[in-house]
Amino acid sequence: METLKTILYFSIFRYPLKIDEIHSYTNYSNQEETSNELEHLVNQKILTKVDEYYVYGSDLDSVIKRLRGNMYAKRAMKIAHKKAKFIAKFPYVEAVGISGSLSKGYYDNESDIDFFVITKPNKLWICRTLLMLYKKIFLLNSRKYFCVNYFISSAQMEIEEQNRFTATELKTLIPLQGKETFKQFYQSNNWINNYFSKFEPQLNTIFDTQKSSFSRTIEMVCDTKIGTVTDAIFKAITLKKWKSKFHYMNEDDFKIALKTTKNISKHHPSNFQKKVILSLNTKLEEVQSKYNVVLQRENV
């Protein structure tokens, strides 16, 4: 029942899928296998087919929601491409991709444009601080079109949390800047094939990053012991601030949602990853109770 777990996952976001989309998340080699399973689930009244979309339960309005979000996403994507090119010009940025809801083709009034940034080793916190300063000063701290909340350095590109949530995020990530770096990134995260065996990253449309003379000058100045010390200071300041601001979080949640290491910076105070997986497990329990269909639970 690989198709059902995929549909349940996306139903958390009220985002129904088409058959080709569903098939891409399964390990079935032939789409006919996916089609047969979906037909069985519809006949069992576990799913409802609305036009070309498969819906769990009675949330038929989710189809309209998706179509509207897809339309807005086309406009937002144009902005995202420009912003990614701009972010790539900052010192020590090696690669930039689009993550979050926009990477899945959805955008609405509540959405931000989320960016995933890969930096040079030992300079992640300098890079992050410069981007945060730009956002605070020139964008008045608005993250609507400039949400840079996940950084990793190219010294440690394998994602540590390996579960359905992170696998889905990597599968839908849209790499835009830094072709060679993204090649290495996907090689470092080939564990995603344990979840989605047909996954093949699209690397042909990625641009090489181009630095301004200003960025190259900053990199030249900071490629010294001064830069190493500065990077460590920025990390320590950020960690102290987050520990104070999010003091209510337990240690395990903090380490995942606000990961703060030499090579990783995550700012996800809502711990969205945990919320999604817990929501999925609740739906799996619901399906088992209502329809006697047993599906394996996911780990947070």
pLDDT band at 300 (very low <50, low <70, confident <90, very high): confident
Q: What percent of the chain has pLDDT over 70?
A: 100
Given a cut of 90, is residue 78 above it in pLDDT?
yes
Q: Do 183 and 210 meet the contact criterion of CB atoms below 8 Å apart?
A: no
CB atoms within 10 A of CB 295: 17
Tell me what pLDDT residue 191 has.
97
Greater confidence (27 vs 65) lies with: 65
State how far the Cα of 188 lies from the Cα of 195, in Å rounded to an integer: 15
CA dihedral sign of residues 245, 250, 256, 262: positive
pLDDT tens digits, residue range 104-149? Answer: 999 999 999 999 999 999 999 999 999 999 999 999 999 999 999 9
pLDDT band at 63 (very low <50, low <70, confident <90, very high): very high
Tell me what pLDDT residue 299 has.
84
pTM, full prediction: 0.96
Tell me what pLDDT residue 280 has.
97
In three-state secondary structure terms, 114 is: strand
pLDDT band at 202 (very low <50, low <70, confident <90, very high): confident
Size (the chain), residues = 300
Alpha helices in 123-192 (DSSP H): 124-138, 164-172, 179-188
State how far the Cα of 72 lies from the Cα of 51, in Å rounded to an integer: 21
Tell me what pLDDT residue 101 has.
97
| CB half-sphere exposure, 113, CA atoms < 13 A | 22
Question: Where are the chain's structural domains?
Answer: 2-59+276-291, 70-269
Given a cut of 90, is residue 2 above it in pLDDT?
no
Q: What percent of the chain has pLDDT over 90?
A: 95
Please calculate the CA angle 216-219-222 and round it to the nearest 5 degrees.
155
Tell me what pLDDT residue 10 has.
98
pLDDT tens digits, residue range 226-269? Answer: 999 999 999 999 999 999 999 999 999 999 999 999 999 999 99
CATH architecture of 70-269: 2-Layer Sandwich (3.30)
CATH of span 2-59+276-291: 1.10.10.10
Give percent helix, percent strand, percent coil of the chain, each to the nearest 5.
55, 15, 35
Tell me what pLDDT residue 36 has.
96
